[in-house]
Amino acid sequence: MAAAAAMDHLEVSTDDDDSSDYSSSFTQSSTHSITSSIVDYVYENGRRYHRYQEGKYMLPNDEAEQDRLDLYHHHELLTLHGNLYVAILPVKPQRILDCGTGTGIWALDIGEVFPSAEVIGVDLSPIQPEWVVPNVRFEVDDLEMDWTYHPDYFDFIHSRNIAQSIQDWPRYVRQIHTKPGGYIELAETSTRIYSDDESLTGSTLGLYNEKFNKALEIAGLMFPTGETLKKFAKAAGFVDVKVHSIKQPWGSWPKDPEIKRRGIIAAMICTTGLESYGMAPLTRYMGMKPEEVLKMCVNSMVEVDSRKVHAYTILYHVVGRKLE
């Protein structure tokens, strides 16, 4: 894939010796609280998936995936220089919603930052811890169903990497209600892999990405760009909408030490992430066998670890404020 436009070029390290210190409330019937324990999971191709709204979200929810999600949270903290969000929040927000909370790690962290706030994490999978801090709770629900919270309930609504479960993005964004003056933050990662040179051309990783995006197209899923999310947010009535775009390299090839560190963490995430993202779409919609997907993932990671393929994705953090 050609290089992404309008962002700084990432310099490639010329040091072949990489032996430095781096190392490779929904209160209606649609809501299910964690205490009701929806744990009748679905198993497919050696991975475990959610049962509630079966098949809607094509990533697994087993222990390997939970470890990957927590590592991704660490990666986001590095990317945002220790911050949990980009939005400008009040000193003491009262109610915060985390959409697609996953393991709940972001919700738990924001609950510690704002101990006076009520924090609710929502996800299709009940994989969050049962023992939590008093101001944080988790619910199992489908974010594309009708929301039952009062429109002026939340000070801040956050969602991260939920594109693979959203069929209707404009409707989803319209349902994100905050108080007047409240903020939303939509954090997503591009499904397209880019390079600033020709190193991705002819690679297994490039082929994987081509097939993966074709599978999403067949499935009717759209992974929006930052500008697309901005358009949806403005159409939903949010103002001062800003797109924060960040190049995220895969591997230790970047020259800049800070970016290199993030690239190494990203490569660690990809070790299981390529299979997590690709197994269901490629077997369900592209007719590939599980062993073919696994082989493609392994060969792609060999290319990433070789530092010869200078690939990166783009992280989008789209922030908007509800008009007062």
How confident is the model at residue 106, as a pLDDT?
Answer: 97
The pLDDT tens digits of the residues spanning 22-40 come to 333 333 334 444 444 445 6
- Indicate if the pLDDT at residue 139 is higher than 80: yes
Which of 171, 129, 145, 125 lies closest to 276, judged by CA? Answer: 125
> Domains along the chain?
32-322 (3.40.50.150)
The pLDDT tens digits of the residues spanning 78-125 come to 999 999 999 989 888 999 999 999 899 999 999 999 999 999 999 887
| Higher pLDDT among residues 183 and 59, named by residue | 183
pLDDT band at 221 (very low <50, low <70, confident <90, very high): confident
Q: What is the mean pLDDT of the chain?
A: 86
For every residue of 56-120, DSSP letters joined together read: SS-S--SHHHHHHHHHHHHHHHHHTTT-S-SS---SS-SEEEEET-TTSHHHHHHHHH-TTSEEE
pLDDT band at 133 (very low <50, low <70, confident <90, very high): confident
The Cβ of residue 121 has, within 10 Å, a number of other Cβ atoms equal to: 27
pLDDT band at 148 (very low <50, low <70, confident <90, very high): confident
How confident is the model at residue 9, as a pLDDT?
Answer: 78
Structure tokens belonging to residue 324: 């007062």
